Amino acid sequence: MRMFGFSRAVTVWRRRGLHVAAAGVLGSTVACSPSSLVDVQTPSTVVDPSTVTTVAGAIALRTAALVEMMYTATSAPGDGIIGQSGSLTDELTCVYCNWSNIDWRKTDRSNSQSYADIHASRIKARLAREALLGYSDNSPSAPRAWQGEMYALEGFTVVWLAELYCSGVPLSSVPLKGTATPTRGFTTQELFERAVVLFDSAMVVGQDSATYVNLARVGKARALLGLGRFAAADSAAAEVPTDFVYRLQADSSGTTWGYNLFPSYVTYYAYRAQDHEGGTGLVWSADPRTGVVSLPGSPDYQWPAKYNVNALGQIDPTSYSQGVPIRLADGLEARLIQSEAALARGDPSWLATLNTLRSTCLSTTPCAPVPGLTSASLPPLSDPGTDTGRVSLVMRERAMWLYLTAHREGDLRRLTTVYHRDPNTLWPTGAYSSPNFDDLGIGGNPYMDGTPYGTSTVFNVPSTEQANDPLYGGCYNLNP
C-alpha cells in the first residue's frame, strides 16, 4: 500500500522509480550507486537520501521527482489528479473509479491513493531541490535553475491539494538529512498562500531559465486566482508568452520521464465523457478543443481522447501511447487568467483576449491543446450582455481549453467561493446514469444506475493521516 501525509514524509516510495526513506526513520537502509536511484526494475530498493552526496545523485533525485509528477497526474482511474478532478466534476464519467464513488460524488471514502501520490511528488521535489543545492554547485550538468524548477513543481503539488481537498491539509516534511516533521492542517487559503511563496522562490532561484520562471509565473497566477486576488493574478500572468508550454514529459519505457497512463484507460473503457452530466454539466463532445469523439461503431459512447493521438497525429481513442506529454502550465492558461481578471475589473478586453486565443491557438501552434483546430471551428464569441453570462462564458472557455488538465475542480470551487454560485448548479446532481454499451461489451452498474448523486464537492483527507500525524486533527470543513 502507499502511505499518506506524515507517513508519506516518513517513507516515500512509488511503484516505479525512486524509493526514498527519511534518514534514521527506517531501521535498515541501503546505500547504492546514483544510477540505481532511478532503477524501475528494483522496487524493493530503499535509499537513504543522506547517501546522496554527488552531482549524479542530485540529478537522479530530480529525475525521480519528474517521474513522480507524471505518475501523480495520470495514475490509475480516479487516482491520478486528471481523473480525480474530471470524475468528481462533469468532465469525465469513470466506469472503474474506486467502484465509481468519485463519479457518484460520494467521497467520504476518501481517495487515499491520489492523496499519497500528491505528497510523494511534493516531497520528492523538495528532496531533489535540497540535493541540487547541496551537491550540484551549479555544475554544467545540473544548473542552478533546476532548483527553481523543483520549487515550482512543489508549488503545483500544493495547488493540487488546495484545489482538490478539504480545508485542512497537513504539509509534513522530510529534509534530505534529518527526520520527518509533522504539521497541523492548513486551510485552503493557507495552502494557496504557501504555493505563492514557493513560486516566488522558483522565480528567484530559477531566474537563469525563462522556462522555469514562466512555469512559476503561471503557477503563482493560478494560486492567486484561487484566492480571488484577480489583480495580483493578472500581474503574475502578464509576462508569460502565449506560446510558452511546460510539459510533464513521458516515454514509453517510463524510465526517463515516466509513463502517461491516461490514454490507455481511455482505450480500455475506464473513462468516458458525458454531455450534460447530472443536468449541470457542459457539452464536451461539440467542442473540438476537448478531443472528445465517438466512433462509427459506438456513436453513443463519448471517448475523452485528448491524449490518444495516433501515428498520423490524429485523435484516435483506439490508439494509445504512454509517451504522450501532459501540459502542466502554458501561456494559454496565462491569457485565460488575464481574461478573467479583466472581467473582474470591468475591462472589456476580457472578450478580445478570448477571441484572440480562438483565432491563434490553432493547427500546430504551441498553444493549441489538440491537433486539427481551425479558425472555422472556433468562430468569434459575442458578449452575453450580463455579468452572470460573462462569467459563465469565461469559465466555459477555460473548461474547453483546459479540458483534462486537472483544472475543472478548482474552477468549480472558485465559482462557489468567489462568485457565490450554488454548488447544486455546478457539480452533477439528480439521478446517476450508468448505461450499458453493448456494442463495446461495457456493462453499466445496475446497483447505482438511477440512484441520486452524493453531495461531495471536495475530497476528504484519509483517516490514516490522523493516526500518523500527531498534530493533525482532520478537515476543518468539507465546503467547496
DSSP readout, 169-225? EE--B--SSS--B---EE-HHHHHHHHHHHHHHHHHHTTT-HHHHHHHHHHHHHHHH
408 near 89, Cβ under 8 Å?
Answer: yes
| pLDDT of res. 52 | 82
pLDDT over 90 at 219, yes or no: yes
| pLDDT of res. 7 | 47
Length of the chain: 480
Residues in Cβ contact with 184 at an 8 Å cutoff, skipping those fewer than 6 apart: 170, 471, 472, 473
Structure-model confidence comparison of residues 218 and 466, the more confident one: 218
pLDDT over 60 at 88, yes or no: yes
Alpha carbons 215 and 330: distance in angstroms, whole number: 7
| pLDDT of res. 310 | 92
Q: Is the dihedral of CA 295, 299, 300, 306 positive or negative?
A: positive
Q: What are the domain boundaries of the chain?
A: 1-480
Q: Give the pLDDT band (50/70/90) at residue 397.
A: very high
| pLDDT of res. 224 | 98
Alpha carbons 357 and 353: distance in angstroms, whole number: 6
pLDDT over 70 at 44, yes or no: no
| pLDDT of res. 99 | 64
Alpha carbons 93 and 81: distance in angstroms, whole number: 14
What would the DSSP string read from start to end of 38-57? G-TT-TT--B-GGG--SHHH
320 near 309, Cβ under 8 Å?
Answer: no
Neighbouring CB atoms inside 10 A of 277's CB total 23
Which of 23-37, 174-188, 192-206, 458-472 shows the lowest per-residue confidence on average (mean pLDDT)?
23-37
Q: Give the pLDDT band (50/70/90) at residue 231.
A: very high
Structure-model confidence comparison of residues 40 and 434, the more confident one: 434
Tens of pLDDT along 6-29?
Answer: 444 444 433 323 333 222 222 222
pLDDT over 80 at 247, yes or no: yes
301 near 294, Cβ under 8 Å?
Answer: yes
- The chain-wide mean pLDDT, for the chain, equals 87
Which of 134-138, 247-251, 418-422 shows the lowest per-residue confidence on average (mean pLDDT)?
134-138
CA 361 to chain centre: 22
Kind and range of the H or E element at 11? strand 11-12
φ/ψ of 162, rounded to 5, equals: -65, -40
pLDDT over 70 at 265, yes or no: yes
Q: Give the pLDDT band (50/70/90) at residue 445.
A: confident
In a 13 Å sphere around the CA of 80, the CA atoms on its Cβ side amount to 28
pLDDT over 80 at 237, yes or no: yes
Overall average pLDDT of the 284-304 stretch: 93
| pLDDT of res. 100 | 73
Residue 295, sorted as left (phi over 0), alpha (psi -120 to 50) or beta, turns out to be: beta
| pLDDT of res. 276 | 97
Structure-model confidence comparison of residues 253 and 469, the more confident one: 469
Q: Give the pLDDT band (50/70/90) at residue 405.
A: very high
In a 13 Å sphere around the CA of 222, the CA atoms on its Cβ side amount to 36
pLDDT over 90 at 255, yes or no: no
Greatest mean pLDDT among 87-91, 97-101, 177-181 lies in: 87-91
pLDDT over 70 at 379, yes or no: yes
Q: What is the fold of 1-480?
A: 1.25.40
pLDDT over 90 at 239, yes or no: yes
